[in-house]
Amino acid sequence: MKKIKIFIDAGHGGTDPGAVGNGLREKDLTLAIAKALKKYLEQYENVEVRLSREDDRTLTLKQRTDMANAWGADYFISVHINAGGGTGIETFIWNGNVSAATRNNQNVMHSEIMKAVGNVRDRGKKTQNFHVVRESNMPAILPEFMFIDNANDAQLLKDPAFLNKCAKGMENGLVSIFNLKKKVQPTPTPMQTQSNTNKLYRVQVGAFANKANAEALANELKSKGYSVFIAE
């Protein structure tokens, strides 16, 4: 069965911090969300996941799309955090001639993200001439998770549980789009019991050089209801 290849681009990185505000840097948040999504997707069968970066390094926009295109990814996600005084979440696809799959996938991904994150403003599904959604050869989406320069949004972005919700929403979207199935966990083999085996187990309680001592212990055990025999 063909594996589904998901390419996750953690926006910015290295010398490019992205948007900054309220003690946060976009490049750190995008990496945390991307890694969380990768971890979630590794629970599914027939899925391969690659990140554009797994640490704090500088990459050009072209390097990111070149990696995804050369790998032959089936879907491209570029994770970003917004800025500019607004609030909430929005998703982008290319504003050019995109496939029906790209539009349908945005509908699914956007819906699942908003359900997962809970009570935040839905800024809607949008289009834009961003390099990563334009130059990727596969359906692509760029979600903008909250506004780093908004104090209330920043409080959410400082909470690892909220970042996991952002990743969880994308996971749920991908499960729906690609009909992903969780890996089957092996069922532990039950230990055999005496009831389903012909084996018998014996317990020896003593060994004596003096037969009288052996007989004395045997009589004591018999008085307590045990079946006893003395072997020489």
Of 26, 90, 144, 171, which is the active-site residue? 144
Nearest to 101 by CA among 149, 138, 73: 138
144 classed as catalytic: yes
Cβ atoms within 10 Å of 155's Cβ, excluding its own: 12
Active-site residues: which are they? 144
